[in-house]
């Protein structure tokens, strides 16, 4: 499962909260792929989200991806969370629940303390191109396999990015250290191999020299 955040303002009108959980054809912040040790930019294609995806998914509207802080829910296309696909992206609408979290998020959005949205998903069809100008991969998500939740979040633009940048620096440092150690180890192995080969050659050369001297005598 992957999580992506976008800087999209949620709006409160009377007792209704609406916004966009997914935006199409927009480049993400720089993300980091921990599995392949590389950073990349991601774009969600309009073909990635369709009505069939919504109808086969149990999608929860959460605060900060916390399951215990649920605001609304769409179970296989039906429920208190209304989802609509348009040219811009995946739009959500729901009535503010009469709960502590409902009143909390309503006030936080009005104060602009919570000003973004995020979504958790797993992809199915992905194309990857290399952006020469930026020197990194650009990942196009053509099809989302499963959509797990949409969340209203406090800091969509920087929270994941800061973690990604720190992780990237740590990986680069670790890879540099591992590469240095590998080169040193390989150099040591080669030296040992040469030394062993020399040791193998030396006794044979002495034996041949002694044999030659004996024949001369």
Is the pLDDT confidence value at 27 over 50? yes
28 and 7 within one domain: yes
199 and 151 within one domain: no
52 and 152 within one domain: yes
Q: Tell me the per-residue pLDDT of 83-101, one tens digit each, with 9 for 90 and over.
A: 999 999 999 999 999 999 9
pLDDT at 181: 59
Question: pLDDT band for position 73 (50/70/90)?
Answer: very high
Question: pLDDT band for position 137 (50/70/90)?
Answer: confident
Q: Rg of the Cα trace of the chain?
A: 29
175 and 90 within one domain: no
175 and 145 within one domain: no
DSSP annotation of 113 reads S
The encoded tokens of residue 41 equal 């930019």
147 and 133 within one domain: yes
Final residue of a structural domain among 156, 174, 207: 156
149 and 53 within one domain: yes
pLDDT at 180: 59
212 and 143 within one domain: no
Final residue of a structural domain among 133, 156, 179: 156
Name which of 39, 59, 23, 11 is nearest 167 in CA terms.
Answer: 39
pLDDT at 156: 66
181 and 152 within one domain: no
Q: What is the tally of structural domains in the chain?
A: 2
Name which of 43, 50, 63 is nearest 147 in CA terms.
Answer: 50
35 and 100 within one domain: yes
196 and 137 within one domain: no
33-60 average pLDDT score: 89
The encoded tokens of residue 144 equal 């989302």
Is the pLDDT confidence value at 204 over 70? no
Domain with 147 in it? 2-156
State the distance between the two ends of the chain, measured CA to CA, in whole angstroms. 83
For the ranges 13-17, 19-23, 33-37, 154-158, the lowest mean pLDDT is seen at 154-158
10 and 113 within one domain: yes
């Amino acid at each position: 499962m992957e999580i992506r955040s976008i800087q999209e303002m949620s709006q409160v009108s009377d007792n209704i909260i609406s916004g966009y959980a997914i935006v199409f054809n927009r480049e993400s912040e720089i993300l980091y792929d921990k599995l392949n040790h590389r950073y990349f930019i991601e774009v969600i294609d309009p073909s990635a989200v369709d009505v069939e995806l919504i109808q086969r998914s149990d999608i929860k509207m959460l605060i900060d991806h916390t399951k215990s802080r649920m605001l609304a829910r769409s179970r296989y296309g039906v429920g208190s969370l209304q989802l609509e696909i348009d040219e811009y992206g995946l739009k959500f609408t729901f009535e503010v629940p009469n709960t502590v979290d409902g009143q909390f998020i309503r006030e936080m959005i009005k104060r602009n303390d919570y000003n973004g949205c995020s979504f958790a998903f797993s992809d199915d069809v992905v194309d990857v191109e290399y952006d020469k100008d930026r020197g990194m991969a650009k990942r196009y998500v053509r099809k989302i396999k499963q959509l797990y939740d949409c969340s209203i979040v406090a800091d969509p633009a920087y929270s994941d990015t800061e973690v990604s940048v720190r992780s990237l620096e740590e990986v680069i440092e670790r890879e540099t250290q591992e590469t240095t150690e590998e080169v040193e180890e390989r150099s040591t192995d080669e030296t040992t191999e040469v030394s062993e080969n020399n040791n193998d050659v030396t006794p044979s050369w002495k034996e041949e020299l002694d044999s030659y001297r004996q024949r001369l005598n």
